Structures are given as C-alpha cells and as structure tokens.
Amino acid sequence: MADTLTVRTAGIATVQDLGRVGRSRYGLPANGAADQHSARVANVLCGNDERAPLLEITALDFACRPSTDILVAVTGAPADLTVDGAVRPQWEPVPVRAGETVRVTGIRRGLRVYLAVLGSFEADYLQGSCAPDTILGFGPALRDGDELTLRTACPPLDHPFSRIPLFRLNAPVPPFPTSWTIDVTDGPDRAEFGDTGTRLYDAPFTVSPQSNHIGLRLRGAVPRRVTQGEVLSRGVPIGAVEVPAGDELLVLHRGRGVTAGYPVLAVVTATGLSALGQVRPGQTIRFRHRTLDQAVTAHRAQRGAVDALRTRVRTAFDALRVPVPAPVGS
C-alpha cells in the first residue's frame, strides 16, 4: 500500500499550487496559493519543484500524521509548529517520523500557512493545476480523515556530528506587520480620478470581513471618478484596484473573474500580491505607489532570494544524502 499523510484536524485547508498560468484566455481564473512567495519557499525548502502541490492552511488549527518518515517545511504567517508536541521552527526543513503528529496552531498576524512535504503528494489536476476553483466546484477543502498519497519517503535525518537534525538555511522571511503596506502601480484608468486619485495613498483602508481569495473589500476614503460614462467590461489583471460606485474599494486577487466593468485605479505588484494574501479582516492597509521599474526590481530581488535558497537547500541535501525528488509529472 502507498504511504499517506492523514489529516487529523482539517480546519480550513486545501491542496494548492501556483495556479493556472496562461488559462485566462479560456475564461479560467488563475487561483493558486494566495501568498505565492511563502508557497514557493515551502516547496524549495523541501527540495521540490516550486510548482508542486502543497497545503494552504487558512486561519484555523491543522494537524496531520504520516505513515512513513517524511520531511516537511511550514512557511507563511507566524504560527506554532509542533511534531508530537515538540516545538519545531517555521521556514526550515523539519524531519517527521512515521506516526508522529504535525500540528500547526495559533496562526497570527497573517492569515495563511503553507505546509510542503518532500516529494509532494498525489493530486487531481484541472487545466494544468491542482488549485481549487470554487466556481467550477473543483478541489474541495480537506476534511478530517482525508488521506493524501505521498510520492516519496525520507530516510531519518541526523546531523553527522551531534546526531540531531540541523538546518540553518536562512530562508527569505517577509515581514508580518499589524498594518500592511501594499505596493501598487498606476492602473489603466488613473486619469479618470483626477486629484481624488491621491486618496489611495493618503490614508489607510480597513479590510472588510467580506473578503476572500476572489478579492478584498476595503473601507476608507474612496477616490471618485471625475469623468462620466460607462466602463465597458474588459479583461482585468490579478491585483486590479477597482473603484465601484459605493464606499468600498475592491482589490481583485487570484480567484478573480477574468473580466470586469469597474474603473481600475491601480494594480498591485507581484510582491504586493503575496503580502495581500496574508492580510486579515480588520487589519489596515496603506497603498504605496511604485513605478513599473521599481515593481520589476522588487520582484526580481524576491525571486533571486528564492533561487539562492534553492542552491543552499541542494547543498545541504547533498551533504545529508537527502534524496532530491523528481519534479511532479516527470
């Protein structure tokens, strides 16, 4: 029989990856991990392809138990990670023996935690991704007792001298503040807001409880259009900051529909989107204007840090003779 990872306490957890790249032309939302940076790092820490399936745990406590020895990495929002009651670090690989219980509790400051397993696990795919799509009814949330089939086991890991597991890989951990600063660039309809467009940057906005992976609703001093006429429905990017005729802003996230008809004042940058995936209802956001060059530079720096981490992981795994898993689908 295949080895499995059994869900003991599901909370709100789903199987995710980085989403459906290039499928907007078919009308499919991208979906995928809301915090793409944390998801990438979790997989890289386990030696996986960064696109491999992993678990996205939202807000509530989670627990699971493997039937074989595994290696896991837990990233994302600060939380309490334990293995059979022993405290273990986030943002580092953690060995788990067969039958031990992995618990993620007390998620705080951010909203989502990511749990990757060396070798990943089997998952169903739709249009090249295992990411859930609530509109299509694909990829339901996990339930207590669900079993995920593991692709690879990991031999027990000991430090060659002190005989204890040891990783110090210095993963790029982003900040998790109580008030967030989200970078944006100008949207296609910036000129339609005249001087009121600066309101986006003048004061904080509060995240409404009516927010999810499709988009966030923000309360605050909303900019107003100074032009008349309807906006035709058209394709909109992930991260579009829309201004409907009301007292809220809409910020579209990875589950957004591919077309919309509200004016787009700004667009959240790639690095800003990962931060936005961690913002909790009731927290405040300040938007910060960035040029396209600044946005690209920040994105390249973040991806460069992940690439450098991948090199350190490979070196550590080679020294400890940890088998590097084949990419999912190979």
How far apart are the C-alpha atoms of 40 and 317, rounded to whole Å? 18
How far apart are the C-alpha atoms of 126 and 128, rounded to whole Å? 5
Cα R_g (the chain), whole angstroms: 21
What pLDDT was estimated at residue 320? 83
What pLDDT was estimated at residue 164? 57
What pLDDT was estimated at residue 155? 78
Note whether 249 and 215 are within 8 A (CB).
no
Beta-bridge partner residues of 126: 129
How far apart are the C-alpha atoms of 133 and 145, rounded to whole Å? 22
Cβ neighbours, 10 Å, residue 286: 15
Question: Tens digit of pLDDT for each residue in 61-74?
Answer: 999 999 999 999 99
Q: Is the pLDDT of residue 161 over 70?
A: no
Note whether 19 and 79 are within 8 A (CB).
no
Of the given ranges (19-23, 90-94, 269-273), which has the lowest mean pLDDT?
A: 19-23
How far apart are the C-alpha atoms of 174 and 57, rounded to whole Å? 18
Note whether 265 and 242 are within 8 A (CB).
yes
Per-position DSSP letters for 79-93, written without gaps between them = -EEEETTEEE-SSSE
How does strand 240-242 pair with strand 248-252?
Answer: antiparallel
Among residues 47, 2, 100, 48, the alpha carbon closest in space to that of 321 is found at 47
Give the predicted TM-score (pTM) of the model: 0.94
Question: Tens digit of pLDDT for each residue in 294-320?
Answer: 999 999 999 999 999 999 999 989 888
Highest mean pLDDT among 166-170, 238-242, 313-317: 238-242
185-to-202, 240, 289 alpha-carbon distances in Å = 15, 10, 6
| pLDDT top residue among 49 and 246 | 49
Among residues 87, 59, 54, the alpha carbon closest in space to that of 73 is found at 54
How far apart are the C-alpha atoms of 238 and 208, rounded to whole Å? 19
Mean pLDDT value across residues 95-106:
96
How far apart are the C-alpha atoms of 310 and 272, rounded to whole Å? 22
What pLDDT was estimated at residue 322? 86
Residue 245: helix, strand or coil by DSSP? coil
Tokens 């001093």 map to which residue? 221
